[in-house]
């Protein structure tokens, strides 16, 4: 577009936002732009992806509807769009930052945290960077040691003059929209006491709000820095979502460490890890395999207990439970029971336990009992 009509961009740098200019499709294709054409018929949906222009016309009388929707993977495109609108001083449709923090407060699930965590981390880094740059501007105009930005003190040091207010309240969008770049400054604003105008932290010295010079504005006291969260509160809120998003990976790392560090992982540790994994409402790699393996180990322990129970009463109860869980049934089960409860079966059972590759006290106890019987 810029190559085709440079004169229009010179007079209107934000020409592409106005949607009043179009080039022939063949000219766009020659410039390497992918162009698609289609006929949309009744009952059909057409989806346009982020950063794609679209245009259309009706062949006759028509009734249609357009709806904006945003799946989770749209968020990085949305954030990039907001920053681009800011460069051209054009108003976005809504506050992207408010969307993210509202979502964090409304849904604490791991599924939401997965897409929200990187977005909030990016937002936090940008916000803290803008706050730091603002503080540097403030100190540069009037170098001083004791600064309200660092202490958040209620009593403002005389050599500082910076007023900071912490206000986590709901506001209308126009009450936190930058008067200069039109961006919604949800997390922090620079507010003029005389005119009531607001700027983001990038433009406190260029906003046209009162008779004071930019140097006077940044020194205070006729302006205030309004922040929704302190730096520590902001970092803590974002880290909470990041930690939630990392829960599945943390569990999978525990499982990997258990299987790697232990040639024969303890059955008790596997039970603990299995219980923990079953409480995590998110698909976990390795959970099903762990559950199946623990089930096999438990079946081995159940049979081993037949030989380790000392009291006859407990032995009978265990034998009944073992009969119920046996794959064989009826009279054959009763007939073979005496044959299976032999030293030979104990040897086989010990070997089966070694083949399974886990550790439990039952293995040692069974070997000790076999040695005693020998």
Q: Would you state the pLDDT for residue 6?
A: 84
Q: What is the Cα 257 distance to its own chain's centre?
A: 24
The pLDDT of residue 313 is above 50: no
Nearest residue to 147 via CA among 155, 157, 137: 157
According to DSSP, the β-strands at 163-166 and 223-227 are parallel
pLDDT at 40 over 70: yes
Reduced to 3 states (helix: H, G, I; strand: E, B; else coil), residue 240 is helix
In 3D space, the residue among 240, 274, 245 whose CA is nearest the CA of residue 258 turns out to be 274
What pLDDT sits at residue 262? 86
Q: Which two tokens stand for residue 130?
A: 């803008």
Tokens of 325: 């869980």
Residue 221: its pLDDT value, please?
81
- Kindly state the average pLDDT of the residues 217-244: 92
Q: What is the mean pLDDT of the chain?
A: 86
pLDDT score for 42: 87
Alpha helices (H) in 40-179, listed in sequence order: 75-87, 96-106, 110-141, 148-151
CA distances, 204 to each of 85, 179, 198 (Å): 18, 10, 8
Q: How far apart are CA 252 and CA 254, in angstroms?
A: 5
Spatial separation of the C-alpha atoms in residues 167 and 225, rounded to whole Å: 10
Q: What is the pLDDT of residue 320?
A: 56
The residue-averaged pLDDT of 152-171 equals 81
Question: Which position has the higher pLDDT, 111 or 9?
Answer: 111
- The Cα 138–Cα 219 span in angstroms is 6
Token pair, residue 72, equals 């989770």
Q: What is the pLDDT of residues 15-27, one digit of tens each?
A: 877 777 888 889 8
Distances (CA, A) of 271 to 180, 258, 364: 60, 12, 19
CB-CB contact of 178 with 167 (8 Å): no
Confidence class for position 215, pLDDT limits 50, 70, 90: confident
pLDDT at 288: 96
Percentage of the chain modeled with pLDDT above 90: 51
Average pLDDT of 331-357?
71
pLDDT tens for each residue of 86-128: 999 999 999 999 999 999 999 999 999 999 999 999 999 999 9
pLDDT interval class at 374 (50, 70, 90): low
Model pLDDT, residue 314: 47
Residue 327 confidence (pLDDT): 47
Residue 312 pLDDT > 50, yes or no? Answer: no
Choose between 281 and 160: higher pLDDT. Answer: 281
> Is residue 338 scored above 50 in pLDDT?
no
pLDDT at 323: 56
User: Does residue 194 come out as left (phi exceeding 0), alpha (psi in the -120 to 50 range) or beta?
Assistant: alpha
Measured in whole angstroms, the distance separating CA 332 from the mean position of its chain's CA atoms is 57
**What pLDDT does residue 311 have?**
38
- pLDDT value at 210 more than 60: yes
Q: Is 255 exposed, middle or buried (0-12, 13-18, 19+ CB in 10 A)?
A: buried
pLDDT at 340: 46
Which pLDDT value is given to residue 339? 42
Instruction: Output DSSP code: residue 199.
Output: E
Instruction: Look at residue 324 in the predicted model and tell me its pLDDT.
Output: 58
Local confidence band at 341 (pLDDT 50, 70, 90 cut-offs): low
Q: What is the pLDDT of residue 273?
A: 97
Token code pair at residue 111: 């599924």
SS3 content of the chain, % helix, strand, coil (to 5): 55, 5, 40
C-alpha 178: how far from its chain's center?
28
Which residue in 222, 219, 174, 217 sits closest to 194, CA to CA? 222
| Alpha carbon distance 306, 315 (integer Å) | 6
Confidence of residue 321 (pLDDT cuts 50, 70, 90): low
């Amino acid at each position: 577009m810029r190559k085709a009509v440079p004169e229009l961009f010179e007079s209107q740098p934000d020409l592409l936002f106005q949607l009043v200019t179009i080039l022939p499709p063949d000219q766009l294709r020659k410039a390497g732009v992918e162009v698609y054409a289609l006929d949309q018929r009744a009952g059909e949906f057409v989806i346009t992806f982020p950063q794609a222009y679209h245009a259309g016309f009706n062949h006759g009388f028509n009734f249609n509807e357009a709806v904006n929707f945003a799946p989770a993977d749209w968020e990085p495109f949305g954030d990039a769009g907001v920053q681009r609108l800011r460069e051209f001083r054009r108003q976005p449709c809504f506050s992207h930052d408010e969307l993210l923090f509202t979502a964090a407060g409304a849904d604490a699930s791991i599924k939401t945290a997965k897409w929200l965590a990187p977005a909030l981390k990016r937002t936090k880094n940008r916000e803290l960077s803008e706050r730091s740059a603002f503080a540097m501007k403030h100190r540069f105009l009037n170098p001083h040691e004791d600064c309200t930005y660092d202490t958040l003190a209620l009593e403002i040091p005389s050599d500082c003059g910076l007023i900071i207010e912490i206000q986590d309240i709901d506001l209308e969008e126009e009450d936190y929209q930058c008067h200069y770049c039109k961006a919604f400054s949800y997390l922090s604003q620079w507010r003029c006491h005389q005119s009531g105008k607001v700027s983001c932290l990038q433009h406190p010295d260029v906003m046209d709000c009162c008779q004071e010079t930019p140097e006077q504005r940044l020194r205070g006291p006729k302006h205030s820095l309004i922040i929704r969260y302190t730096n520590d509160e902001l970092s803590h809120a974002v880290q909470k979502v990041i930690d939630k998003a990392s829960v599945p990976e943390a569990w999978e790392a525990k499982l990997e460490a258990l299987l790697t560090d232990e040639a024969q992982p303890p059955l008790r540790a596997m039970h603990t890890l299995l219980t923990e994994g079953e409480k995590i409402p998110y698909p976990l790699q390795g959970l099903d395999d762990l559950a199946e393996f623990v089930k096999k180990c438990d079946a081995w322990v159940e049979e081993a207990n037949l030989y380790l129970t000392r009291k006859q009463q407990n032995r009978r109860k265990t034998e009944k439970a073992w009969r119920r869980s046996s794959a064989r049934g009826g009279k054959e089960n009763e007939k073979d029971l005496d044959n299976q409860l032999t030293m030979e079966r104990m040897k086989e059972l010990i070997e089966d336990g070694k083949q399974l590759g886990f550790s439990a006290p039952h293995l040692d106890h069974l070997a000790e009992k076999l040695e005693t019987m020998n």
